[in-house]
Chain A
């Protein structure tokens, strides 16, 4: 089945490796955990967003993956870029939720951290990306048991078809402390790969 839209580019972040359009562009196999890996990758790509260090793991993962795709678009920071964001994952913001809970479970030592609390929603990572790239666009974050290509396909096609967005940054951004995985792709009218369920799954499983 053909689609009127295309997948312009895609990115994977997993196993201490970042790849763009199927080619490894950064790896740091010595990093002991994702946070160390993210910090090294941030410096390697010279991202220049000092708030990065204050973010939770989910937002760092989402920002790293989106940066790989969006910097390739050479966006004009003086213009509003109508790129919608549609993300999904399984664990929502559970890792940060747990950290927040641990700061409030002892009534005699009740010091909730505002800096942690602000990340107790998964869609905060979309806000970080929107601020960094000045995106004033539609956005949604869905929770599924596993990667749901069909839902992302239908939702992004709808946004593009009714003119709510010029392009859509879609993806799976799963972070749960010890495990992480990001797969993002940009849906557009340009690109070689068809925007179909089969093609999305094919790229996801690369």
Chain B
């Protein structure tokens, strides 16, 4: 799980172009949207694509993302339970 969390932080920073943020800046339980990392609705769509591309998880309802993308901890747990690749 720790390896996955590290991988998620690296991918999020790279794919969402979070220029001034490093892996060390993101705690496992930090809120990713709103007042947390400040991600927006386009970022949420990008994360949905990332789940599909990297882990074979298809979210058909974008609203599901609100819970799944709550924090790195929640994302890692969901991916571990649902990944197909």
- Chain A residues proximal to chain B, CB less than 8 Å: 39, 50, 53-54, 111-115, 118
Between A and B, how many residue pairs show CB distances below 8 Å?
A: 27
Query: Which B residues between 1 and 53 are near A, CB-CB below 8 angstroms?
Result: 16-20, 38, 42-43, 45-46, 49, 52-53
B52 contacts across to A, CB distance below 8 A: 111
26 A-B pairs (CB sep. < 8 Å)? A39-B19, A50-B19, A50-B20, A50-B38, A53-B18, A53-B19, A54-B16, A54-B17, A54-B42, A111-B49, A111-B52, A111-B53, A112-B49, A113-B46, A113-B49, A114-B42, A114-B45, A114-B46, A114-B49, A115-B16, A115-B17, A115-B42, A115-B43, A115-B45, A115-B46, A118-B42
**Besides the contacts A114-B42, A115-B17, what 17 more A-B pairs have beta carbons closer than 8 Å?**
A39-B19, A50-B19, A50-B38, A53-B17, A54-B17, A54-B42, A111-B49, A111-B52, A111-B53, A113-B46, A114-B45, A114-B46, A115-B16, A115-B42, A115-B43, A115-B45, A118-B42
Q: Please, how many angstroms separate the alpha-carbon atoms of A54 and B49 in the complex?
A: 16
A114 contacts across to B, CB distance below 8 A: 42, 45-46, 49
B16 contacts across to A, CB distance below 8 A: 54, 115
